[in-house]
């Protein structure tokens, strides 16, 4: 008589271990395929507009057409178009340093617009709807748009902003000028809203999107009032360093109301 054959039993523990290993492996594989990388932080972009009005009615038409296109591109107006005073302008071959504040041929305005990103700002300017408004802008005024990618800034309503946009010609002299100008801003109750080092990307939108030669700079000071801002500019200590600034950079320095 042959010995009875043993029945093969199922090793429950081995099966359980195998199932655990399999589930872990499948989960890891699925997780690897579905892995979502954290989104990179996007830096906001600001469009600064210097506006010289030629035809008020035509420019009003332009503004009415342009406004909705800003919102459609995710933008928001941080400083609404309002009166602007050119404290100095040497970026376009002219100098008004010797003129009284606010002496201009045409009414001047300034606007500051914030977009979620540089791509959003460029998309706004290149959009079909905004392009339709450009002929009215050209007929209504001379506008210089400057685009800067900056860390988010907080603008206090009712204050005065001094905005500097320009090109550095001599980095050493610019450093000397900035070191002397900064304490004078504080002396008159101002603060640096956007320091020169905050600028990462800048271009003149009309070029289009082609950076100018030299290092571009965008600086913004915030003062409690327009009087404090003009007191800073007229301070004899600041006037004494203007020759250094003129050698260091070509710039438009403007006073705007927030």
pLDDT tens, position by position, 121-161: 999 999 999 999 999 998 998 887 888 888 777 888 889 88
- The closest alpha carbon to 188, from 156, 228, 221, 226, belongs to 228
- Position 124 in a domain: yes
Between CA 256 and CA 161 the distance in angstroms is 5
- Position 183 in a domain: yes
pLDDT tens, position by position, 162-194: 888 778 889 899 999 999 999 999 999 999 888
Range of the domain at 113: 45-257
- Position 205 in a domain: yes
Length of the chain: 258
Could you tell me which residues come within 8 angstroms of residue 50 by beta carbon, excluding any fewer than 6 positions away?
84, 108, 110, 143, 144, 146, 165, 252, 254
- Position 34 in a domain: no
- Position 247 in a domain: yes
pLDDT tens, position by position, 58-114: 999 999 999 999 999 999 988 877 666 666 655 443 344 433 334 445 667 778 899
What is the total count of domains within the chain? 1
- Position 130 in a domain: yes
Among positive and negative, which fits the CA dihedral 123, 74, 203, 151? negative
- At 142, which CATH number? 3.30.70.100
pTM above 0.75, yes or no: no
């Amino acid at each position: 008589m042959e010995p009875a054959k043993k029945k093969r039993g199922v090793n429950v523990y081995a099966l359980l271990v195998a199932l655990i290993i399999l589930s872990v492996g499948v989960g890891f594989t699925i997780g690897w395929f579905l892995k979502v990388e954290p989104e990179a932080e996007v830096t906001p972009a600001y469009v600064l507009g210097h506006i010289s009005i030629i035809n008020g009615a035509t420019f009003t038409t332009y503004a009415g057409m342009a406004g909705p296109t800003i919102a459609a591109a995710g933008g928001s107006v941080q400083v609404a178009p309002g009166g602007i005073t050119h404290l100095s302008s040497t970026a376009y071959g002219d100098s008004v340093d010797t003129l009284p504040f606010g002496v201009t041929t045409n009414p001047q305005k300034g606007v500051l617009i914030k977009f979620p990103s540089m791509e959003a700002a460029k998309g706004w300017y290149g959009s079909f709807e905004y392009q339709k408004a450009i002929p009215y802008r050209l007929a209504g005024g001379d506008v210089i748009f400057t685009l800067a990618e900056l860390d988010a800034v907080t603008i206090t309503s009712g204050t005065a902003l001094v905005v500097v946009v320009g090109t550095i010609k001599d980095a050493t002299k610019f450093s000397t000028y900035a070191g002397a100008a900064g304490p004078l801003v504080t002396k008159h109750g101002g603060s640096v809203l956007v320091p020169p080092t905050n600028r990462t990307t800048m271009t003149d939108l009309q070029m289009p999107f082609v950076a100018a030669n030299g290092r571009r700079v965008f600086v913004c000071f915030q003062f409690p009032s327009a009087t404090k801002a003009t007191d800073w500019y007229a301070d004899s200590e600041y006037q004494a360093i203007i020759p250094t600034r003129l050698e260091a950079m070509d710039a438009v320095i403007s006073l705007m109301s927030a």
